Structures are given as C-alpha cells and as structure tokens.
Amino acid sequence: MIHNHYFSSALVRLHAERRYRVFADLERIAGRFPHATWHSPGGPRPVVIWCSNDYLGMGQHPKVIGAMVETATRMGAGAGGTRNISGTNHPLVELERELVDLHGKEAALVFTSGYVSNETGIATIARLLPNCVILSDAWNHNSIIEGVRRAGVEKKIWRHNDVAHLEELLAAEAPDRPKLIIFEALYSMDGDIAPVNRICDLAERYGAMTYIDEVHSAGMYGPAGAGIAAREGALHRIDVIEGTLAKAFGCLGGYIAGSASVIDAVRSYAPGFIFTTALPPAICAAATAAIRHLKVSQWERDRHQERASRVKSVLNAAGLQVMPSETHIIPMMVGDPEKCKEASDLLLAEHGIYVQPINYPTVPRGTERLRITPTPYHDDAQVDALAEALVDVWGRVQLPLRHRALAAE
C-alpha cells in the first residue's frame, strides 16, 4: 500500500517508547465473574480479572442479562436508525426516564457511549453559550478534552482539584461572560474525589455553569447510586451530569442529565447525537434493569467498598506500596513503562492474574502504574493470591517492598 511506511514507522516509535499496546484476548464467563478464559498464545487458560471497569459485576447480573435477552427476542438486534430516523425505541425512552429519576433532573439524553456524550455534549453546550469560556480540570478525561477542543471556544485549565486556582481563573473573567466549569466527580487513575461543593460555591459566586462527569461514581456512590454529587448533597447545584452505562451499570452507552432546555438543545444541535444510530433496545433494557436494581440494592455498593478496603489492607500487610485512595480504585505506582508492562505480563503468564499496565498517555510519564479494581465478587482467597503474586512479581522486576516486620507494625 502507498504510504505504508508512515504507519509502520509510527508503530516503531511506540515500540521504542515502550508504549505499544497489546490486548489480552479474554472470554468472560457469565455467572463466574471475575473468572475468565484467556486465549493465550499457548491455548486457553483460566485467569482472574483484577482491572475491570464492570465495577459491580452488573454485566453478568441475571436481571440484566434477562432483560437483554428478553428484549432482543421481542424487538430484535438493532435500533434501525438514528433517533430522528426510526431509531427511537420504547426501551430507550424508558431508560431516559430512569436516568431522570436517578439523578433528580428534568431531562436526560442517551448517547452511544460516555465518550460521545462528553465529546458532543460539551462542544454543543459551549457553542450555544455566546463568548463562552471553559474552565476544565487538568486531569479531565480525553473525552472531555476532545469536547472542549471541538467547542472551539477559549479554555482555561485549572490545576487538578485546586479550587484556589479555579477561583483565580474565574475572578479574571468579566462577570457577565458565560463560564462553564467541567470536572470529574471521581478521577479513575488515582481514585481521588473532587471537592464538589467548593466548586459549586465558586460557580455560584462567579455565575458559572457546572458540568460533572460521574462515569466512575454513578451506581457506586450516593443514595440509590445517584453518584458523588448526590452523596455530597450537591445534586441541585450541578447543571449537567454526565455518566456511562458501561461501567457500574455493566452495559454500553452514555448520557447527560440536566434542565429540560439544555437537554433539548443538545438533542437538537449535537452532531454526535443526531447523526449516529441509536442504542439497540436490548442494551437499553439491560441498562435500565441495572439502574433499577442498583437503586434498591445497597449490597453491591457495601460489598464493593468492603472488598476495596480488604485488598488495600492485605496488600499493605504484604509490604506492597499501595497509593492511598479513599475510593474503590487501588493504584500501585511503578513509575517505569517497561517494568509496568513486565509486571503485568508476569502476573498474567505465571499467576493467571489479569491487571493491565497503565502507561502514558493514559497517565503522565513517570507515573506508570497497575490499577487494581476489586469488585463485590472477588473473594478472600483471590485477594490473598493477588498479594502473593504481586510480592513475587515485585521482587522479579526489582520494585521496592517494605520490610514485612515494618509493614506489620
């Protein structure tokens, strides 16, 4: 092919920087999560998954699978078009009603992914605000960055979770200029939480709109799984909530929720909503089943937090350096892309444990890490096996361990 060498040399560059990505070929086993089959180069092998964003195991919940199968059987596989052209199906309308109720907003709009909801939602909202300036947290996800870029308006980046810096930037703007503050409730690489109420205080003081990404918190935190803003009593202070149906809710799709006008405007102006086929009815029904279940069932949330603290204490007791986090995300800093990849490869090949390496550009260079995500379905024996495997691998790739006697103190 003409120009082929450009592509192959781009790949050579990635290999040289040790950030060429290799995907593990996995087959999840419904009903046995976190067990899976790894289709390794040497044939199929059993593994335990420790890095899934199916945080609560809802992807295998009988109610969710049941809704999906039953709906597909009745309504077929695809949606049949964009929402405008024959794609609005009843389960999708019901899903949006469910989201309205979950987040206590006037309206909600579903997209084909959380990525698209940020990318097209942010761009559309900002473009409809005359002379808008966007204030975006430095650690915001790539989907937010792309949304901001597409908006084509002025942007200011505030230092991660630094409200003093945010205030400085807000104060420098003319009082009547439309401002849009964008942040995440829970940052998924460090597992830290935004100071939601302090950000809302500033938004009120300086007349800014608030847009929160609750992708890593909806379903898992707050009353009925409504998220961190709800937990902090700040739901009414947030103008737009964005979330995914693919993480705690175990399915696929994204959404925004807010006032009737902002949602109707995005529905009417956002290209990433208008010009793409709607989610299939079966996926909508499955997501609705997951949301409904998590609204009334506290078991998954409690067990999730209990498992996360269990993993942290077992790993700490084994002398492993666990980055402190107040959430279910357990980052283990490696700080070297090669060692990070090697540790992950050894865990998979020799211990049947799957934790993929997190390297640049997902995290800054020098902060490469393994990111462990316990679920309600990881049992004590699996936690112990994880600790033993990590101790072995840490020794082999020459990463520091605390002395066990010290760790026990």
Ligand X SMILES: *Cc1c(COP(=O)(O)O)cnc(C)c1O
Where do contacts with ligand X occur on this chain (CB under 6 A)?
A: 113-115, 118, 141, 143, 184, 188, 213, 215-216, 244, 246, 254
> Distance (Å, rounded) from C-alpha 327 to C-alpha 308?
8
Question: Nearest to ligand X by Cβ — which residue?
Answer: 114
Query: Counting Cβ atoms within 10 Å, is residue 1 exposed (0-12), middle (13-18) or buried (19+)?
Result: exposed
CB-wise, 113 or 327, nearer to ligand X? 113
Nearest distance from C-beta of residue 117 to ligand X, angstroms: 8
Nearest distance from C-beta of residue 138 to ligand X, angstroms: 14
57 membership: H or E segment, kind and range: none
Nearest distance from C-beta of residue 140 to ligand X, angstroms: 8
> Distance (Å, rounded) from C-alpha 239 to C-alpha 47?
42
The residue written with tokens 């009593």 in the block is 233
The residue written with tokens 């920087």 in the block is 17
Active site residues: 247
CB-wise, 134 or 399, nearer to ligand X? 134
182 membership: H or E segment, kind and range: strand 179-184
Nearest distance from C-beta of residue 282 to ligand X, angstroms: 17
**Cis? peptide before 91, omega within 30° of 0:** no
158 membership: H or E segment, kind and range: strand 154-158
Nearest distance from C-beta of residue 205 to ligand X, angstroms: 26
CB-wise, 50 or 187, nearer to ligand X? 187
**Strands 208-213 and 240-244, sheet pairing:** parallel
Nearest distance from C-beta of residue 67 to ligand X, angstroms: 19
Tell me 345's DSSP state. H
> Distance (Å, rounded) from C-alpha 236 to C-alpha 212?
12
> Distance (Å, rounded) from C-alpha 330 to C-alpha 51?
10
Alpha helices in 247-374 (DSSP H): 260-269, 271-274, 281-296, 299-317, 337-351
